[in-house]
Chains A and B, each alone.
Chain A
Amino acid sequence: MRFDQARWTDDDGGRYEPLLSEKDGTEVEIDDSPLPDDLTRDSLDLPELSEPELARHYTRLSEMNYGIDNGPYPLGSCTMKYNPKFTEDVAAIPDAAVHPDRSEDTVQGTLELLYDLQDYLARIGGMDSVTLQPPAGAAGEFTGILLAEAYHEANGEGHRHEVIVPESAHGTNFASAALGGYDVVELPGGDDGRVDLDALEAALSEDTAALMLTNPNTLGLFERDIEEIAEMVHDVGGLLYYDGANLNALLGRARPGDMGFDIMHYNVHKTFATPHGGGGPGAGPVGVVSDLEPYLPTPRVRQAESGAYELFEPEETVGKVHGFQGNWLVLVKAYAYIARLGDPGLRDASAKAVLNANYLGERTDYDVPYGPYHHEFVASAGDQDAADVAKRMLDYGVHPPTTKWPEIVPEALMTEPTEIENRKTLDQLAAAFNAVAGEDDSTLADAPERTTARRIDQTSAARDLRLSWHSLDGD
């Protein structure tokens, strides 16, 4: 397989596709405004381009971008699945385009979808109640932290000020706990890549508010001691939080609620195939066991005896984590995906995701030090620089894995092919891994060659900050 990404080059300008501002600059003076002059700006200076010019601009830019529909995208921890096209169509159904302040009885359809999605997610996670409000995974974590705090406060245990996070956890876990005002206690990993129960015992105390855990963890390993972990956390009065980033591995096979987790978030842009959109929007619904239900963000949706759907405020609510009801369009797409797959499809997704990771891991020449892994594996680039390996993999027409993390594996290549790849594509991925594994350092350092841009100088970007076209003037 040979890959050459589109590359529009403006040789005279020393750039690829020119910026809009390099195509036009029009300063519109603001006078004769319906407002007094002292309440308006003087002018607005922006590009004024025709629709055909814009269509071409953005089409060229899209050609210089790589998505799942272009090729494999095995970014570990990101669950880059195919995004079914029909979900865009259902999100665009005109009747669903309603304002959040509409009265409840005029938006019964909208509330029904939210209610049903709350229900689906609760069943999938083994949780009692779900809020759909958090607009991303990290927002879900922050919501979970707020819930834990409210719970402890209500039980007269507001003194608990520590949240325990394994060292190999997602960076958001640490940041979300800190945003909630907690001291973060970093838990060193065990030799087998899992939670070290002795270390956990040492970290737990009556100051513990919660332990945040990903399962399978970022090495793809199931925390086999999860029942004991839950018991230890609960014994000191703490709560167990499940980071849903890796839920794709467990669909229909194990549920956080059954493992003893009290709070969890779902990354619907991972597990339920809503598009990542170049970084978002996602959605991070949060599920809880019944003890925590009274604290959930407001409003929630319930069904009255009449059968009508209504909004209500949980009695001890933590309030709001989004200005309205979260990322509605994303939630619709998630519902559609879950409905399309149903029980057999969800269970098959985890089966094929784990099969694919194991098949690919088996075929790569790089060492995979920890196992048995599930939906993802972390290979080591050994003597090679993992970041260079990634750049070189781009030349083979595949997106590289997540690199250099988790740090427990030297020069980590964190690889998650998901269930959407067939055997032939996995073979191509393995061939790309293995070709790069056999290449010398200078070849890697010169990569990539076949992408739109050649290797980009990160240091210069950070040292000489140019964050808008205004700061390029005089280039």
Chain B
Amino acid sequence: MTGHDTTTGSPFAPHTPDETEAMLDAIGADDVDELFDIPEAVRFDGEFGIEQRSERAVKRELRETFGDNDDLTEFLGRGHYDHYVPSLVDHLSLRSEFLTSYTQYQPEVTQGFLQVLFEYQSLLVELTGLEIANCSMYDAATALGEAATLASRVRATDGHRVLVPELLRDERREVLENYVAGTQMVVETVPSDDGNIDVEALADLVDGDTVMVYAENPSVRGTVEEGLADIADIAHDNDALFVLGSDIVALSLLQKPSEVGADVVIGDASVLGLPTSYGMGLGLFATRDSFVRQVPGRLVGASEDEAGNRTYTLTLQTREQHIRKERATSNICTNQAWVALRTAIHAADLGPSGLVDLAETCVTEAQDLAERVDDISGVGAPVHDRHHFREFVARTDQPAPAIASDLETEGFAVHALSDHELQICVTDANARKADDLVAALAEVAE
């Protein structure tokens, strides 16, 4: 048998030279190049200049490349969080029947993945109290953009104002602004009141032209929002949707969105399931059943098969781009399904007790660390007189950027928010290093 010609071709194309010849014979061509119907003028005869490497060499190269990253203990959050991911998640999610499958357009042969996605949707329904959750959006920011376009579609009358909190990650707002750029909607800011939304200011701002009011719980500064029900009432009194941003660990403990009047819940679900991934996420999207035909993205529903057994299938596909084209509820096609699978497995492994324990840890660790940071001379924490989840802001007498830089030298990464504000995030993943951080901060902050 002739060996695979992997030195001069793709190692993942199995054709031997003899096989290639026989196939060319079968189709009546002399050469593979003949099969390309490309006009001479636009043919590419050059080289990319990309050297072919062995598997071992690529691995070595990337280990070396990533070795150039400094080994810092991160106390970073602000929308991207780290919780310990159990081995179970990798081992099961990497089963290639899951990993190497496509979207479930043939449900009879993809029941396994469909059931996982149905279970993921069910998890979000339990966490949010809303009846509908989709299979995934890209991340929290794009989910927020999709929430705005949904809000404008379901509103009985035209409106163009989208109100978002002053305390919002800039990038999240910029994505939202791009999603509404093709509409009449404009994004406006609601002032904050000591880390929460200023409810009185909101009441003055909202009017009949307001399509949606957005709030986050916890906020990007880690504060727990105390006025959710009031915010919802103000929105609803003006026929605006109340959209709430959160994540699935916070949702395990904080007020249930349905009970405070949320119409849509968006956020990041990959706080479970993914390790720190340079910002890669999983957009969660849940809403009321009355909006189901306006939901973006994929939905898995239960059905029956010819054998009379319960099965699962993608449903309401007439909302989607491959059928509805420019009238689709969204342009999303490829999504984050495999991340949703990982998140579902991680959440199932924690179970309700583990989810609540983890969420409570996020409160107690942040509280403890803030108290200890507050004891350091030249530092005050937390800046906001609120309850905190995972993270808090500290005021520093010395310039915060210089402190953050000095901390890097000591092996720690924190956020420098402004001239005299640091933000520190603590979870189960880095809590055991909190003592060391406090000691280092005491050294550099005075």
Contacts and interface: CB of A to CB of B under 8 A. Distances in A.
A446 B307 CA distance: 11
A348 B13 CA distance: 8
A332 interface: yes
A327 B280 contact: yes
A281 B280 contact: yes
Interface in B259-305: 259, 274-281, 289, 292, 298-305
B157 interface: no
A108 B182 CA distance: 36
Interface string B42-80: 111001111111110011011101111111101010111
B208 interface: no
B335 A348 contact: no
A217 to B, nearest CB: 12
A389 B41 CA distance: 41
A309 to B, nearest CB: 9
In order of increasing CB-CB distance, the 7 nearest A-B pairs are: A324-B279, A181-B182, A342-B52, A277-B338, A323-B141, A348-B9, A279-B337
A83 B58 CA distance: 15
Given A339-B61, A448-B109, A28 B356 contact: yes
A287 interface: no
Contacts of A213: none
B278 A322 contact: no
Contact of B353 (A26, A69, A278): A26
Interface string B175-187: 1011101110000
B331 A179 contact: yes
Contacts of B337: 277-281
20 contacts: A21-B119, A41-B254, A65-B112, A135-B139, A139-B138, A174-B328, A254-B36, A275-B100, A277-B99, A284-B334, A322-B175, A340-B52, A341-B52, A342-B53, A344-B52, A349-B10, A358-B29, A453-B108, A460-B303, A466-B301
Interface in A145-179: 146, 149, 170-172, 174-179
Interface stretch (A50-58, A232-240, A433-441): A50-58
Contact of B281 (A40, A68, A252, A323): A323
A442 interface: no
B181 to A, nearest CB: 7
Contacts, number: 643
A412 interface: no
A123 B179 CA distance: 30
A120 to B, nearest CB: 6
Contacts of B310: 13-16, 472, 475
Interface stretch (B121-129, B197-205, B236-244, B436-444): B121-129
Given A184-B326, A320-B175, A326 B280 contact: yes
B446 interface: no
A300 interface: no
Contact of A224 (B39, B107, B309): B39
B315 A374 contact: no
Interface stretch (A72-80, A196-204, A288-296, A378-386): A72-80
Contacts of A341: 10-12, 50, 52
B352 A279 contact: no
Contact of B19 (A27, A109, A422): A422
B440 to A, nearest CB: 15
Interface residues of A, number: 199
Contact of A181 (B20, B101, B181): B181
Interface in A411-440: 419-423
A311 interface: no
A65 B111 contact: yes
A285 interface: no
Contacts of A206: none
Interface in A310-342: 318-330, 332, 335-336, 338-342
B156 interface: no
A340 B70 contact: no
B112 to A, nearest CB: 3
Interface in A84-107: 84, 86, 88-90, 92-93, 95-103, 105-107
Contact of A454 (B119, B179, B305): B305
B106 A89 contact: no
A363 B44 contact: no
Interface residues of B, number: 187
Contacts of A276: 100-103, 334
Contact of B26 (A45, A136, A363): A363
Given A343-B48, A456-B311, A95 B63 contact: yes
B151 interface: no
Interface string A12-23: 011111011100
Interface in B320-374: 320-328, 330-339, 341, 345, 347-349, 351-353, 355-356, 360, 363-364, 367
A407 B355 CA distance: 48
Given A66-B101, A175-B325, A457-B305, A269 B74 contact: no
A304 interface: no
A452 B111 contact: yes
A467 B121 contact: yes
B413 A89 contact: no
B397 to A, nearest CB: 22
A275 B93 CA distance: 12
Contact of A69 (B97, B179, B339): B97
Nearest to A358: B27
A77 to B, nearest CB: 10
B103 A319 contact: no
Contact of A64 (B38, B112, B183): B112
A149 to B, nearest CB: 8
B224 A355 contact: no
A41 to B, nearest CB: 4
B135 A279 contact: yes
Contacts of B141: 320, 322-323
Nearest to B74: A99
A82 B100 CA distance: 8
B15 A454 contact: no
Given A48-B351, A172-B321, A469-B118, A394 B108 contact: yes
B408 to A, nearest CB: 6
B30 interface: no
A141 interface: yes
A253 B279 contact: no
B8 interface: yes
B385 interface: no
B10 A255 contact: no
B109 A62 contact: no
Contacts of A113: 62, 65-66
B15 A318 contact: no
Contacts of B341: 277-278
Given A55-B92, A323-B175, A465 B43 contact: no
Contacts of A448: 108-109
